[in-house]
Amino acid sequence: MGNIVVVGSINMDFVCYIRRFPQPGETVQSYRTETKSGGKGANQAVAAALSGGKVSLVGAVGNDSYSRDIVFGLRNYRVDTDRIMQKKSDIGTAFIAVEESGQNNIVISEGANGCLTVEDLKDLPELFGPSSVLLVQNEIPWACTRAALQLAKDHGVRTYFNPAPALGIEEDVFPLVDVMILNESEAESITSIRLSEELSDVKQAASRIIALGVREVIITLGEKGSFYMNDQEESIFTPAFSVHAVDTTAAGDTFIGSLIAARQQGTPIREALRQASAASALAVSRAGAQESIPTAEEVAEFLSRSDSRVGEPI
């Protein structure tokens, strides 16, 4: 099984649990506040590692106590942290408000993540071996994300891109991406197609992304499930598992890490999508980001108690 190389963000999350989101100008009381390790890069790396993947995380932290604690925690999750650089900055931070429904609002401050440079990635190919893959997101400087994709493509490495948060993407970047995994709002931002409840809109958006040069697209649909399409016009809808939502903070990151780890272990795409859906369901039923991510054993046990449905071709 090849190495899963994640180039991405590392944050400290400050999480406030509230009864409801405030109106503009309104103050609401938090009934619980916690600090937790987060960042899309780190979350996805942890999810892949807990799903059985061999994971190396490339990113930046600061010179504060939060940074030391986060790196130590990542090692406990069996994530290789040797390529995490220390910058003269504070750790990246995310301020998260979680409503009783489990939905969240997030404000991020890039901190050390914004100090990562293209020069820092010059040795990235040393992590690429047979069957390695690269995973990137949009919480580090765009020049670094683009450089990582180009280096991977130059070395024949399969690339996964989660374009979150949604940013403008130059058209010549899409052919560097083998698999794009994104949610509905990000799909709308990239394609300018307004997604309704109709699956036909989702299919149209996926087709447009494929036409830009991406080989496979997965659009996550929240509590509805996910939609997969490849450049051979194969389409799969995978329904979500029904669970009581406590906190959706790391749901998407868990889905992504689980899916990539499953694919690295040779799992067929339909079953990999089902496993990722189960991992995401378990994550939203728990509080926190990395703390909510399930292990491969927990996912297997959950699936053994659930129905046998798999991704459905449409």
Write out pLDDT tens, residues 78-123: 999 999 999 999 999 989 898 988 888 889 899 999 999 999 999 9
In whole numbers, what is the pLDDT of the chain averaged over residues? 93
Beta carbons of 35 and 287 less than 8 angstroms apart: no
What distances in angstroms separate CA 247 from CA 18, 61, 88, 289, 306, one per listed residue?
Answer: 11, 25, 32, 8, 21
222 is annotated as contributing to ligand binding: yes
Q: What is the pLDDT of residue 102?
A: 82
Q: What is the pLDDT of residue 307?
A: 61
Beta carbons of 59 and 10 less than 8 angstroms apart: yes
Q: Which positions are catalytic?
A: 253
229 is annotated as contributing to ligand binding: no
Q: Quick one: CATH architecture of 4-313? A: 3-Layer(aba) Sandwich (3.40)
| 31: pLDDT strictly greater than 70 | yes
Average pLDDT rounded to a whole number, residues 249-261: 94
Q: What is the pLDDT of residue 310?
A: 52
**Torsions phi, psi for 170 (to 5 deg):** -65, 145
- Is residue 99 helix, strand or coil? coil
Q: What is the pLDDT of residue 36?
A: 86
The bridge status of strand 133-136 relative to strand 4-7 is: parallel
**Confidence band of 288 (pLDDT split at 50, 70, 90):** confident
**Torsions phi, psi for 7 (to 5 deg):** -110, 110
Domain segments of the chain: what residues? 4-313
Q: What is the pLDDT of residue 54?
A: 97
12 is annotated as contributing to ligand binding: yes
Q: Pick the range with the lowest mean pLDDT from 55-59, 165-169, 296-300.
A: 165-169
- Is residue 36 helix, strand or coil? strand
Work out the burial of residue 304: count CB atoms within 10 Å of its CB; fewer than 13 is exposed, 13-18 middle, 19 or more buried.
exposed
13 is annotated as contributing to ligand binding: yes
252 is annotated as contributing to ligand binding: yes
Beta carbons of 132 and 4 less than 8 angstroms apart: yes
Q: What is the pLDDT of residue 287?
A: 78
**Confidence band of 197 (pLDDT split at 50, 70, 90):** confident
273 is annotated as contributing to ligand binding: no
What is this structure's pTM? 0.92
Average pLDDT rounded to a whole number, residues 252-261: 97
What distances in angstroms separate CA 303 from CA 54, 236, 254, one per listed residue?
Answer: 23, 19, 16
CA angle (152, 127, 67) in 5-degree steps: 105
Q: Pick the range with the lowest mean pLDDT from 60-64, 171-175, 251-255, 305-309.
A: 305-309
Note the pLDDT tens digit of each residue in 135-148. Answer: 999 999 999 999 99
| 70: pLDDT strictly greater than 70 | yes
225 is annotated as contributing to ligand binding: yes
| 308: pLDDT strictly greater than 50 | no
Q: What is the pLDDT of residue 178?
A: 98
Average pLDDT rounded to a whole number, residues 280-290: 87
| 77: pLDDT strictly greater than 80 | yes
11 is annotated as contributing to ligand binding: yes
63 is annotated as contributing to ligand binding: no
Note the pLDDT tens digit of each residue in 223-243. Answer: 899 999 999 989 999 999 988
**Confidence band of 247 (pLDDT split at 50, 70, 90):** confident
**Torsions phi, psi for 56 (to 5 deg):** -120, 130
Where would I find the H helices in 22-64? 40-50
What gap in Å lies between CA 182 and CA 98, rounded to an integer? 21
Beta carbons of 282 and 243 less than 8 angstroms apart: yes
